[in-house]
Structure 1
C-alpha cells in the first residue's frame, strides 16, 4: 500500500488507493472518505470563485486526494487514535478553508499552502485569534465600545445626509416596467426639503437645486417603505419582475395617498438613501452598509485608542505632500 506522503510520479488521483492505514498502524475509521467528502462539499457551498479547479482535467478528484493526504499527515502530527477522528477532521477542515481563502491559482499552489498549515501552525493561529477575541471582549473594551458607538453612528449619519445632499440619478419605471427615463433627487443643504425632477438623460455630475422643478418638505414625510411594501411594487404584475429590482425599491409616503417611488441604481445607493431618509425621520439606520461601516470604524477607533500614544501629538491635518524627486532613474518600466 502506497504511503500518502510519498511523491507521486504522475498525478495524485492515479496513485490513490483507499482505504489507507493510519501512520500508527491501525486503520482509519470507515467514514474517513465520506467525512472528508462532506467537509469538502460543505466548504464549496459558497459563491466564491476558485480558479484552481479549472487547471486540471480531474480537478475535484485531485482536490479530494490532496485533502486525504492532508488528513493522513495531520493524523500523524496529532498522534491521533480512532477516538480522535472528529477532532482531526475539524483541524483538516480548518486547514482546507484557510488555504482556500488565499485563492490559489493551481492545485500545486493549494498543496503548497497546506504544507505551511501544519497542526502546530493551526494551534498558533487559534491561540492568536483567541487572544485577540478575548482582548476585544473584555469588560473595559466593551465599555469603551459602548461609549464610542454613538459618536461613530453620528459620523455615519452625517455621511449619509451629505450623500443625499449631493443627490442621485434614478431610473423611472414606465407602464411596461422598462427603465428608460431618468429623474434626479437631492436633499437641500439645510436638510429640510427634497428637490426632484425629470431629466432628459443621465447627468455627468450633480444637478443644481434650481433645475429640479418639484419639492417635498421633509416635515411632510410620513414613512419610508421598502421592497414589497412599496406602492409601485404592488401593482399588477410587479411582483413577477426581477428580484434585484424588488430589493432596490423604496418609497416615501406623504400626505394621504401620495408617494415618491424610487428604484436605486445599485445596493450601495439603496443603503445610502434608506439610511439617510430614516436618519431624517429620527429612526435607526438598519442597512447592511451601516452595520459594516459601524464594525469597521468602531474596530479602528478602538485600536487607535489602545495605542501607546502618551506625550505624542497627533496632527489634525495630514502631512504635506513632498516635492517630486529630481529624476526618476529608480523607476523600472516593466513594459
Structure 2
C-alpha cells in the first residue's frame, strides 16, 4: 500500500461500519511491516486508532488488529503504544483475551504481543522512560484481575495448532527470563517482574505442568515449528539449575532451615532410639556431657547428621559445592523415597562407620555428576538459536536433551544406582570417589546415549539394571583411552614392563607344571628305531604303555620312565630310570595346533590326573626333544666341516592341547627360548592386561595433570653462600 493512501486508510479504520474496518485492517496487516510505511502510519496517529480497534472489536477485525500490532513491534516500532495513557487498559485487554477467548487466531496475536512486551527489556534496545511499561511488571495488574492467566498459557502447550503452541512457549520463556534476570539485576532480592522470589514463581509454573508439557513437545514429531522456543526453554532450564546452585545454603533463612530439619525428621530418628543398641561401637559412644550441663537435659545426638551421610555435624557447609540445588535434590529424594530412605538408614546403622554408604554425600555427588554431564555451566540462553542454525535444523537428537527436564527423576534413579554399586563393590568410605567415577560412566552410557524419544522410565530401568561387569569393562576402556592419549609413550613403557613381568610369571607357572610331572601315553613299534615316533615297516602297533616325565628340583635334568600301567601313586624322582641333561638338548620341536575338542581353560599346575588305564589317542600332537649326534658313539663317518646331525632322544604324546602347551612352552622357556603356543601367549597377554588394569584402577583420570608444584624444578641460587656447610644426619 502506498504511503499516500494512509489518511484514507485511517479514515476507514475509524469507520463505524464493521465491514469497512475489517477490510481496512486486513490491508494494514500486510503493509505495516514496511518501516517507511509504519513510520508514516505512527506519525499520522495510527497507534491510537489501532489500540481502539483492539479494545472494542471482535472476530476477524480483532484478529487482524492484533496481527498488525505484532508485526509493527517486529520491526521495532510502535513501542510508544505501551508508554502512553491507556497502556494498562491495552495490556489488560490482551490478558483477558488469552484467558477468555477461544479463537486460535486471536490467541496467537495476543500472545505474540505479550511476548514482545515482556521481552523488551531483555533486548539491546530495551530502554524505557516509563517504569513498569514492559516486562512482567506491565502484566502484573492485569494478572491480578485474571489470576488464571498462567494456567491458560500453560494449557495452550497442548494445543494442536503449532503456531499457538510456539507462541505460548515463547511467552513462558519470556516470563521466566524476565523473572530470573530482573532478580539478578536487583542483587538477588525480589523479582521486579513477579513481585516474589523467582524460585516461587518457577515453582508456580512447574505445579501447572509446564515441565511435563514441554517434555512431551520435545519428544514429539512437531519439532520443526517449535525448535526455537524449545531450545530456549532447554537453555533456560540450565540457567535455572545454575541459579539454584549459586544460591548458598544459609541456615539463617527459614526455608533452608526447614528443609534441613525435614531431612532429619524423615530419617525417623525416634525409631533408631527405640532399637536395642546392644554393645555400642566406639564411634557411637556419646561424648561426656559438657561441664555445667543440667542433669536430665536432652543432649544432642552425636550422630544426628553423620548418620544421614554428612561428613560432619555441621552440614550446611557441605552444600557449598552444590548450593541449594544439592539440598533440593536431596530433600526431593527423601520425600519421594521416604520408606526406602529409612530402611537404608537402618541397614547402614548395623555396619561400622567406615563401611556405611554416606547417603547425603552420595546425593550431592550425583547432583554434581548430572550437572557436569549436561554441561550446565556452558549454557547461554542467547546461543540456542545460533546453535540450531549451525546444526542445519536436522540433528534434533543431538541438540535436544529432553532428559534434562527430568532432572529430579534422574537424580533419584542415579542415587539408587549409586547405592547398588556401593553394595556390589563392597566399598568403604575410602572408595567413595571410585564409586562416584563408576556412576559417572553409567550416567554417560545410559543417559548420554539415550535417544530423544526414549522415555524417562526406560532410562530409570536401564540405570538400575545395567550390568556391573559391563560397567567395569567400559571403565577400563575409557581409562586406557584417556591415559593413552595423555601419557602416550609412558603408557607403552608400562605395558612393556608388565608384559615382561607376565612372561616371567607364566614361565614359572609352566616350569612348575614340569616339576610336578605328568603322564603321557607312549606308542611302541615292533621295529625299534632311533626315532621313537617312527612307525615300523609293517605299521603294526603293540600295547599303549605309559611314560611318566618329571623335571628335577634343580631344573637341570628331565627324568622319565615307561610303565605298562599307571601305579596308584605317582613315581618319585629317584624311581625314574632315565634322565636327560637339559644342557645337551639342541631343540624342541612339535606339531602343536589349535585344540579341537579340548574345552578346558588355561591349565593350572594340575595336569593329567583322571585318565583311564587304557588311554585313547585323542590328539595327534607330538613333542620331540632333539640332541646333537655323537658320530663316534653311533659309528657314523662324517667329514671335517660337516655340521653335527640331530636326533630325537625323547618323544612325548600329550593327549590334550593344554598339556601340550604346558610342556612344549615349559621346555622352551627352560632353554631360554620364547613360547610359541597360542594358549601360553594368550595367558601372558591376560596377565599383563590385568596388571595394567589394576594400576589404572588405582589412579584417577585427573592424576598427574595438575603440573608441578610451585617452585619445583628450580635450581636454588648459591649467591651469598660459602663452603662452610655440614650434613645433618
TM-score range, shorter chain: 0.3 to 0.5
| Structure with the bigger percentage of helix | 2
> Greater CA radius of gyration, 1 or 2?
2
